Amino acid sequence: MEAPDLQINYKWGQSLNYSEIRDYLQRESLVTIKDFPLNDDELQSFINHLGTPLNEKRNNNGKTVFDVKITQHNNFFTSIANSNLAFPLHTDCADFNSIPNTIGLLCVEAAHEDEGTNNFMLLTDLLKHLSEIEKQKLLNKKWKFRNQERSILSSENDNHKICYDRITMQSFSKLTPIEIEELNNLDKLFRSLSFKIKLKKGDLILFRNDVMLHGRDKIDINSQRLIKRIRFDIKLPSFAMPPDFEQ
Ligand SMILES: [Fe+2]
């Protein structure tokens, strides 16, 4: 699929309007800031203006900026994010009590042209492709995400959200052959609705983690690709806003 026209581009140095950026994120746009400084403190303070960053206790000693690069320890990758493997479309922190609703990725070292490209899928595109029966099934059936039981789709005041991470779902529960086939079909559907964005050095991309899935293509094992990741929560309106809503 083509990248959607809800991609908003800014350039570092032009006066950035935080409430405007927040507003685009609330409306589920992807926001890119070109030529962002390649500096963790700058990234952290920028995100502090938009929302509340999550401290990464699991892999990152409680810091908020996480280095996504190939990292091995005793010949094992330290996480899938730190491997060279393709990462299928997923939600970050699908097994957390509270899932951060937004992610920022700052490209410090770009991958080569044919590797490590980011993939995205919008929930709005998925909803257009699901029949009412398929939608109800995804709203009702609970799956195990480590210690959490969650449905893939949820809905509050007619606002839908998605939570999906095949690797976590499959790692912590024994799925039946029918369930595996169900997930294979979903993965195939998600892929068919996804679009690619190639990050360049200095691109900071901000996107919602609760209304889109993201992933990335395989990376060369010797790649110097380095992405700084920060997860955060922006305040969301408690009701659905039409696109031309004015406050
Ligand atoms: Fe991720």
Distance 229 CA to ligand 1 centre (A): 9
Lowest mean pLDDT: which of 52-61, 119-128, 134-143, 203-212?
Answer: 52-61
Distance 149 CA to ligand 1 centre (A): 20
Q: What is the pLDDT of residue 246?
A: 47
Distance 100 CA to ligand 1 centre (A): 11
Distance 204 CA to ligand 1 centre (A): 15
Integer CA distances (angstroms), 228 to 26, 40, 90, 161, in order: 22, 8, 18, 25
Helix (H, G, I), strand (E, B) or coil at 218: coil
Within its chain, how far is the Cα of 232 from the centroid? 11
Distance 20 CA to ligand 1 centre (A): 25
More confident position, 58 or 99? 99
Q: How far apart are CA 78 and CA 26, in angstroms?
A: 33
Mean pLDDT of 199-227: 93
What average pLDDT does the structure give for the chain? Answer: 89
Asked whether the predicted pLDDT for residue 247 surpasses 90, the reply is: no
Helix (H, G, I), strand (E, B) or coil at 220: coil
pLDDT digits (tens, 9 = 90+) for 137-146: 999 999 999 9
Query: Regarding the domain delimited by 7-121+196-233, which CATH topology (the fold level of the hierarchy) does it fall under?
Result: Double-stranded beta-helix (3.60.130)
More confident position, 43 or 237? 43
Mean pLDDT of 227-241: 83
Q: How far apart are CA 122 and CA 96, in angstroms?
A: 21
More confident position, 125 or 85? 125
Domain boundaries, the chain: 7-121+196-233
